[in-house]
Amino acid sequence: MTSVPDDNVELARWLEDSGRRRAVRLEDGPEKLLAHLESRAGRKLRSREEIDAFIGHIEREREEIRRAAERRRIGRELSFVALLAAAAAQYYFVDIAVQIAHLHSNYYFVASR
């Protein structure tokens, strides 16, 4: 009779352990994963140096993409600042034109001799 609670405890431990484990597909062994990585990389990755070179290449590409995005952002912000300056100048000149238009005209009559 004492073996029944022990079986339940054992089953509970097994369920806990199986819940913590990561599911691994049997067809995804290290060799197949390496072959898939090599097919995606387009080159053989058989040594640490080759892997480091590949990762370095990827990091350089990511850095170039980041720099290009930074240049685009700076160009976009400079364009917006230039447009803002043009809008402020236009507002100023239109305001001056409106003020000139509202000036009263003075007519002077000179008597002829």
Look at residue 104 and tell me whether its pLDDT is greater than 90.
no
Compute the half-sphere exposure of residue 64: CA atoms within 13 Å on the CB side of its CA: 6
**pTM here?**
0.52
* Residues 55-97 pLDDT 10s: 999 999 999 999 999 999 999 999 999 999 999 999 999 999 9
Domain ranges of the chain: 12-101
Pick the closest to residue 34 from 51, 15, 49, 9 (CA basis).
51
- Between 50 and 105, the higher pLDDT residue: 50
Distance CA 82, CA 109 (A): 49
Distance CA 20, CA 14 (A): 10
Mean pLDDT of 5-10: 75
Q: Which two tokens stand for residue 100?
A: 């000139």
